[in-house]
Amino acid sequence: MSQLQKISIGYFIALMIAASINYIPGLTDESGLAFGIFALDLYDDALHVASALWALIAGLMSRNASRIFLVLFGAAYLSDGIFGFFTGYGFLDMGIFTNASLGMELSLGRSLANLPHLALGGFALVSGLFIERRA
């Protein structure tokens, strides 16, 4: 199994954990905010599960399938995190289409809310573009 395939399998695990956050007692507050920072709904959970299954299938298929997953997933999730800083909402959950922009903000809360997409997206994109390029 290639390093890219192992990374894809790691994304399967991370995304399944993200999808399960709402269902683990104590991780959401009385307002329904995960870790007191952001809200996840059924649509978000479905998106995380679909992405996780994509990661798993790519990881089990081949190095090239894993590279494609990491590049496309990475670009989408990184962009979603960047949109979050500029608007307060992402595009993957259609938030930018259903909510008025909250404007640019670099607060701790907004940073923490967007950090998972920035980190997961950035690492996936860099991995897909630069790891095992000549294998």
Residue 17: the pLDDT is 92
Residue 7 has a pLDDT of 98
Q: Helix, strand or coil for residue 30?
A: coil
| Percentage of the residues of the chain whose pLDDT score is greater than 90 | 49
Using DSSP, state whether 36 is helix, strand or coil: coil
**For 71-77, what is the mean pLDDT?**
97
Q: CA 58 to CA 131: how far, in whole Å?
A: 16
Q: How confident is the model at residue 23 (pLDDT cuts 50, 70, 90)?
A: confident
- Domains of the chain by residue range: 3-130
Residue 135 pLDDT: 54
What pLDDT shows up at residue 74?
98
- DSSP H helical ranges for the chain: 3-20, 42-61, 63-87, 95-98, 108-130
Q: What is the pLDDT of residue 37?
A: 64
pLDDT of residue 106: 79
How many other β-carbons are positioned within 10 Å of the β-carbon of residue 103? 8
pLDDT at 38: 63
